Amino acid sequence: MTKTATFMDFNFLKNLFGSRTYLGVDIGTTSLKIAEVRRGKNGAELLNYGYLESFDYLERANQAFQTSTLKLNEGGIAKFIRALMKQSGIPAHPVIASLPSFSSFSTLIEVPQLSERELAESMQLQAKQYVPMPISEVKLDWQKVGERRDEKGALLQQILLISVPNEVVARYQKIFSLAGLSLLALEVEGLSLARSATMGTAGPALVMDIGARSTTIVVAENGFMKFAGQTDFAGATLTQTVATGLKLGNRRAEEMKRHRGLTGAAGEYELFTLLQPMVDVIINEGMRVRKNYETLYKTAVTRIILAGGGANLPGLHRYIAKETGLPVSHAAPFERVAYPISMAPLLTGLGPIFAVAIGLGLKEL
């Protein structure tokens, strides 16, 4: 695909490395995930992984790795990356890193069948119309995610147009430079999420990645993101609600949320009534994205997939299934890779958390 500007791939680096082993690095607002993935004889293989979670943000908001205001502690994050790699025994490889959804803008555009040159010219024009910033201040990328026939039978290409501020790209480049790693590509987390959650499956799925500070919502099919949304209601919102409602410290509220959640068991009704309205906000945002997608593309979303640390909230998948009438499952990115049997017990419960990191590692394979 011909592009006049890109943030996704630093293509000149590929020829220098010649590597088939990559590090998928997912920098969340309060956690860091690294997946070492390579192309083996029979497909993708997970060689190693690392996971670091910070709870300091529960006491001091400025202790998050990053915030939805795009504040990044580049030096601190680089230090954590180096420490996690050392602790986990992960060697240096070319990095593919995630960009949070709240740092980007994306829209799905339909165009007639075009050559690569014509498509590049069209996307530059479309970007001026849709991107809410001057084109000189952003990096652009686009990819074909599907096609359909319109009412007259004409075949249309479905193109996902993405923009990210130059300033954000520069910050991530600085992080990996300070960490002593070579950054091969940056990718908006929704694309990685779609890849690991729906690759090889048919029918649109609503993927809800519930992080600490934001929830990313995408409609995806066969590994491609088709539609996206985002809300600031997420894990930290639930924790703060519990802390305020039960007059607890944030750390104690976080612990109670994680262990009891929405089970509604005996003696837990008060916790359920506190969490329910906040969870409903997340569900409603997901249903808004679903409705917009179905209205625009006349195709029904068939299921829901939960990802992110918030996906492990006890009772959440059953509650969402009850409220939406759709089957709900957890993201299972480790099904996309082979790994040593000795690693299996360690990966239990980590699937939703590593959905983006594994998706990043699979990008170039």
pLDDT of amino acid 269 = 82
Task: Specify which residues 232 forms β-bridges with.
Answer: none
Count the Cβ atoms, other than its own, within 10 Å of residue 278.
Answer: 18
The token duo for 76 is: 């601190």
CA distance linking residue 230 with residue 300, whole number of Å? 20
**pTM score, whole prediction:** 0.89
pLDDT at site 361 = 97
Q: Which two tokens stand for residue 83?
A: 């420490």
**Quick one: CATH architecture of 12-362?**
2-Layer Sandwich (3.30)
Question: What do you get for the CA distance between the two ends of the chain, in Å?
Answer: 18
What's the CA gap between 17 and 94, in Å, rounded?
Answer: 8
Torsion angles phi and psi, residue 100, rounded to 5: -65, 150
Contacts of 319 (CB under 8 A, 6+ apart): 262, 276, 279
CA 164 – CA 62 distance, rounded (Å): 23
Name the phi and psi angles at 322, rounded to 5. Answer: -65, -40
Give the list of residues 6+ apart from residue 43 with CB closer than 8 angstroms, or none.
337, 338
List strand residue ranges (DSSP E) for 197-321, in order. 205-210, 215-221, 224-231, 303-307
Give the total residue count for the chain. Answer: 365
Helix or strand (DSSP H, E) at 78: helix 74-88
Rounded to whole angstroms, the Cα distance separating 354 from 196 reads 9
pLDDT in tens, the chain (365 residues): 333 333 444 443 444 445 589 999 999 988 999 999 999 988 999 999 999 998 665 555 445 555 544 567 899 999 999 999 999 999 999 999 999 988 899 888 999 999 999 999 999 999 999 999 999 999 999 988 888 888 888 899 989 999 999 999 999 999 999 999 999 999 999 999 999 999 999 899 999 999 998 999 999 999 999 999 999 999 999 999 999 999 999 999 999 999 999 987 656 788 999 999 999 999 999 999 999 999 988 899 999 999 999 999 999 999 999 999 999 999 999 999 999 999 999 999 999 999 999 999 999 98
Reference 228, options 202, 266, 194; nearest CA is 194
- Contact predicate 169/186, CB 8 Å: yes
- Predicted confidence at residue 3, as pLDDT, reads 34
DSSP 8-state assignment for residue 90: P
DSSP state of 195: H
- Exposed, middle or buried by CB within 10 Å (0-12, 13-18, 19+), for 267? exposed
Which residue is it, tokens 């000149």? 12
Burial class (CB in 10 A: 0-12, 13-18, 19+), 178: middle
- Distance, in Å, from the CA atom of 314 to the CA atom of 278, rounded to the nearest integer, reads 15
Give CA 50 to chain center in angstroms. 17
